[in-house]
C-alpha cells in the first residue's frame, strides 16, 4: 500500500510558514530603536511645531513633557517612555510624523543656504565698493547715503572689535530685500529663528 506521506514533509499546515513571517527579536529591537530615535528627533524640535503636529494627544504630551526635563536620568527615562508611546502609533500616523520632520529639515536647509547667501553679499559690500553700486542699481528705492554710513560703521566695528550693530543692520536690510523679492512675509517665527542663527554665527 503506497505511503501517503512519501514525497512530502508529512503535513499540509501553514502554521510554521506563519511563524516564520513574524519579525525576529533583532528586527523588533531595530524597529524599537528607530521609533525611539524618531521620538528623540521630535523632542529636539521647537515646542510650537510639536503642538501643531497631528498625533495622539498622549504621545504629544509625553514629548512636550520630556522637553521640560533637565535632569539627565529623568530625561533618559522619559525618552524611553516616549519610545514606548511611539510604538502605539500605526503606519499612517508614523508616516505623517516622518513627512513633517522631512519638511522641517528641508526648510532648515533652504533657510540656512539663503542666510549664507545674504552673508556673502554683506561681505562683498564691506570689501568692494562696486558691490554697493550693483545693489543700488538692483534696488533704486534704497537710501544710498544710509547704506554707505552703515558699511563704514560696520568696517569700523570690525577694525575696533566692537559689537556688530551696523553689521547686523546691513544683514536685515538684505534679508528684507530678499523677502520682498521672493514674496515672503516681512516677519514670522521662522524669521526670528533665522535671526537667532545669524546672531550666533556673528558671535562665533
Q: Check whether 193 has a pLDDT greater than 60.
A: no
Burial annotation 88-113 (CB, 10 A radius, 16+ → b, else e): ebeeeebeebeebbeeeeeeeeeeee
Q: Of 86-90, 127-131, 193-197, give the lowest mean pLDDT range.
A: 193-197
Establish if 5 belongs to a structural domain.
Answer: no
pLDDT band at 28 (very low <50, low <70, confident <90, very high): confident
pLDDT of residue 201: 47
Place of cell 505623517: 96
Q: What is the pLDDT of residue 103?
A: 85
Dihedral through CA 117, CA 180, CA 193, CA 161, nearest 10? 50
Same-domain pairing of 82 and 149: no
My answer on whether 82 and 115 are in the same domain is no
pLDDT at residue 51 greater than cutoff 50: yes
Q: What is the mean pLDDT of residues 169-180?
A: 91
The answer on 116 and 199 residing in a single domain is yes
In angstroms, how far is CA 65 from the centroid of its own chain?
A: 20
Domain shared by 37 and 75, yes or no: yes
Is the per-residue pLDDT at 129 higher than 60?
yes
- Residue 190: closest CA among 39, 43, 49: 49
The conformation of residue 23, written as its DSSP 8-state character, comes to P
Taking residue 78's Cβ as centre, other Cβ atoms within 10 Å add up to 20
Can you give the CATH number for the domain in which 77 is found? 1.10.60
Amino acid at each position: 500500500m503506497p505511503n501517503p506521506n512519501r514525497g512530502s514533509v508529512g503535513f499540509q499546515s501553514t502554521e510554521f510558514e506563519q511563524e516564520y513571517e513574524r519579525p525576529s527579536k533583532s528586527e523588533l529591537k531595530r524597529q524599537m530603536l528607530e521609533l525611539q530615535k524618531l521620538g528623540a528627533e521630535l523632542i529636539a524640535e521647537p515646542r510650537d511645531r510639536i503642538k501643531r503636529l497631528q498625533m495622539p494627544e498622549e504621545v504629544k504630551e509625553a514629548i512636550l513633557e520630556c522637553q521640560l526635563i533637565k535632569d539627565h536620568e529623568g530625561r533618559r527615562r522619559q525618552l524611553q517612555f516616549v519610545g514606548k508611546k511611539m510604538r502605539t502609533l500605526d503606519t499612517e500616523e508614523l508616516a505623517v510624523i516622518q513627512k513633517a520632520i522631512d519638511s522641517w529639515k528641508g526648510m532648515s536647509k533652504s533657510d540656512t543656504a539663503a542666510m549664507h547667501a545674504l552673508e556673502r553679499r554683506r561681505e562683498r559690500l564691506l570689501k568692494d565698493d562696486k558691490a554697493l553700486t550693483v545693489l543700488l542699481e538692483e534696488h533704486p528705492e534704497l537710501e544710498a547715503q544710509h547704506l554707505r554710513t552703515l558699511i563704514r560703521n560696520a568696517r569700523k566695528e570690525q577694525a575696533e572689535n566692537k559689537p556688530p550693530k551696523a553689521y547686523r543692520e546691513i544683514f536685515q536690510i538684505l534679508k528684507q530685500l530678499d523677502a520682498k523679492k521672493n514674496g515672503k512675509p516681512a516677519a514670522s517665527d521662522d524669521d526670528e529663528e533665522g535671526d537667532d542663527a545669524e546672531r550666533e554665527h556673528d558671535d562665533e
